[in-house]
Amino acid sequence: MLQSTFRHLRGISAQRELELWRQGVLTWEDLAVRVRPQFPLFNEAVNATGSSSMLGLSRQALRSGDIAFFAKHLDRQEHYRIALTYPKETIFLDIETTGLSRYYDYITLVGWSIDEDYGVYVRGDSNTQLHSALAQAKAIVTFNGSIFDIPFLRKEFHNLRVPEAHVDLRFLGKRVGLSGGQKAIEEQLGLKRRSEVKAVTGEAAPILWHRYRRGDLDALKLLIEYNHADIEGMKFIFDYAMTRLFEKQSIPSAVAVPTQFAAMKSQVKWADRSDSPSGIWLSPYPETSKPLVTIDDLIFTNREPRLCVVGIDLSGSEGKASGWCWLHGNQVVTKPLKTDDELIRETMACHPHVVSIDSPLSLPKGRTRVEDDDPGRSEFGIMRFCERLLKKRGVNVYPALIPSMQKLTARGIRLATAFRSRGIPVIESYPGAAQDIMNIPRKRAGMEFLEQGLAEFGVAGNYLVEPVTHDELDAITSAIVGVFFWCGRFERLGEEPYSDEALIIPDLNANPVQWQTRFVVGISGAVAAGKTTAAKCFENLGYCYGRYSQVVERVAAERHKPVTRAILQEVGNQIHEKHSQRWLGKTLLQQLPATGNLVVDGIRFPEDHALLVEAFGPAFFHLHIGASYKVRRDRYKARENMAAKFEVADFHPVEKHADELAGMANLVIDNEDTLDRFNSRVEQLVKDSGRR
């Protein structure tokens, strides 16, 4: 059909080409004869390269087999002409993967057919035949391959030669009224698959792969047969689409090449021994089927104090059980829990270092409510930054504020707020993405494979001997994300460093050195206990200093108020009630350097403790300064010269959590001795931090 093609010639549109065909101009030779008497016109109309005729270049490209020439100069939707010109050198190709994300998933199998031959590459085998098949092909045919198959291939196989002439049946089909996935189109056209593969769907392909990885050769056989059926189905669709396209465009029969790809049927040929020169030999999976990392690679599971993480796979309603998991070292206990009170009570009893929740824990930036009547709905939408980023990476994630997610998002925010108000740090996790990254089968592959993958990761517990729900298994994975967070092997998907929108996912390539070796001291204590004295001691030793009152002072100055302790306490309380204490803490952290040791003065609320753990993980060290009422009162009097106002300052609402914060601290220092001895204790703490 290429020799009847004029669309690549300058000045010839689709309509002009059709008119030429109807006038009997069917080949390049016919066109040359037609325009030779009007050579100047011919030179202007069909000479696109200056001194050399495009017709001459076309003849030369055809003789030399330079198909890239035609692929370059023809519109992509006309590449079918190349496939029709070289039917026996056109490759039909289809890949199978573990999922849809090129960022996290990988190719498991590539099948192809040229002429009547079918070949297959299985992950772990040599890819020589795949390279050879693509190298000899002049055109490639896929279904949705321009978006899916080809990008996957280019990512995983270096120096792979993919024909430039590409026919994507998804888009070719749309031109003749065929829409939907390949299986839906086949059903629409009445194509029947063999019973063995009829029930297999694209969603089932990863399941078959995981079964094969675990030793099931029949699963691999079925996956190959499913892939082969896809390829044979593409041949049928191509033939049908071309027949309809020729009819739709009224292309003359003298030009319209009859398509016969469906008649070029291929067969799956099985080898009866491993050294057979032809046929497909089914061999056990050569690579490891275990997770890419274990919990013992991340933390010391038997060293006291053991890391304690609670994972929650949250449901949208208290009427439906959520999965709950307590991970202590490498041991897990799971339960189905329904109400917020149950989740909070069981979690608080564990005294976790961090809680990891599978649920949106924030709103899109600019939104104030989950409901659609939020005034910011039209401007700020329903999707958060982390969800948009995962979408770009090919991960199917629900927007936080679609109607079906609104109750879950509201509950997640409510629960996270409840934990943080008690000083418990909370992170947002996504078990499905975590399982993909860790090379653990998702629950869609079968709960037994997910259980086995979690066991191979190194966590033991009741889920291995007792029936558990899939929500409990996802809760275990959420807890494992907390482990990745704690050891610094994670990626924070957030628009800003301390954004509430951040989603935590494992990152096996992350360098945790700074996360694990940095030292960030947060200091709490009652009025006049010596917080600032301790903080200044750290600052003198090279720590970058920051205090919550810096933000409060700025806000007070913006309100044209004098900077006194009473004013700062009042403005701080207003910020806590209006903007939230979390806003105050994030504003302070954004002013501090991203690297190096820090000292943060003036922790006054449990939310402050939670935020600093979420920001710095194990690098955060909570130091509480204690002193008796009398000592503090005398200090205040000496410093402020107003003993009568000490009670007012000490009993202000922003100071009421001092005793509670002492219970959260890593270390409590009593400051009732001399300043020199107090500074010596602080200096010793700094030395000890360097030996952690």
Give the pLDDT score at 52.
42
Cα–Cα nearest to 575, from 589, 585, 566, 590:
585
User: To the nearest whole percent, how much of the chain has pLDDT over 90?
Assistant: 62
SS3 of the chain: helix, strand, coil, percent, to 5: 50, 15, 40
Q: What are phi and psi of 331, to 5 degrees?
A: -105, 140
Q: In which band, very low, low, confident or very high, does the pLDDT at 33 lie, cut at 50, 70 and 90?
A: confident
Residue 478: pLDDT above 60? yes
Residue 282 CA, chain-centre distance (Å), reads 33
Give per-residue pLDDT as tens, 231-288.
999 999 999 999 999 999 999 988 988 888 999 999 999 998 877 778 899 999 887 7
Identify the structural domains of the chain with CATH numbers, from first to last. Answer: 2-64 (1.10.150), 82-248 (3.30.420.10), 295-509 (3.30.420.10), 514-689 (3.40.50.300)
- Percent over 70 (pLDDT), the chain: 95
Spell out the alpha helix ranges (H) of 199-290: 205-213, 217-248
Judging by beta carbons within 10 Å of its beta carbon (0-12, 13-18, 19+), is residue 334 exposed, middle or buried? buried
Determine which helix (DSSP H) or strand (DSSP E) holds 120, and give its type and residue range.
strand 117-122
Which of 247-256, 439-448, 587-596 shows the lowest per-residue confidence on average (mean pLDDT)?
439-448
130 pLDDT higher than 90: yes
Say yes or no to pLDDT of 643 above 70: no
Reference 382, options 362, 396, 412; nearest CA is 362
Burial category of 637 from C-beta neighbours within 10 Å (exposed 0-12, middle 13-18, buried 19 and up): middle
Amino acid found at 626: G
Mean pLDDT calculated for residue range 322-348 = 97
- Average pLDDT of the chain, as a whole number: 89
In whole angstroms, give the CA distance from residue 211 to residue 219: 6
> pLDDT band at 644, cuts 50/70/90?
low
pLDDT at 563 over 90: no
Q: Judge whether residue 621 has pLDDT over 90.
A: yes
Choose between 479 and 442: higher pLDDT: 479
pLDDT band per the 50, 70, 90 thresholds, residue 36: low
Q: How far, in Å, CA of 336 to CA of 313, rounded?
A: 10
Q: Is the pLDDT of residue 400 over 80?
A: yes
DSSP conformation class of 353: S
Buried b (16+ CB within 10 A) or exposed e, 609-633: bbbbbbbbbbbbbbbbbbbeeebbb
Residue 642: its pLDDT value, please?
A: 65
Per-residue pLDDT, 103 = 84
At residue 347, the pLDDT reads: 98
The yes-or-no verdict on residue 42 having pLDDT over 60 is no
Closest CA to 352 of 426, 411, 294: 426
Helix (H, G, I), strand (E, B) or coil at 688: helix
Closest CA to 455 of 310, 291, 292: 291
Distance of alpha carbon 345 from alpha carbon 12, whole angstroms = 76
pLDDT recorded at residue 257 = 82
300: Cβ contacts below 8 Å, ≥ 6 apart? none
- The Cα 272–Cα 280 span in angstroms is 9
Q: 50 pLDDT exceeds 50? A: no
- Asked whether 117 and 90 are in contact (CB, 8 A), the reply is no
Instruction: Read off the pLDDT band of 438 (50, 70, 90).
Output: confident
pLDDT tens across 509-549, in order? 999 998 988 999 999 999 999 999 999 999 998 999 998 88
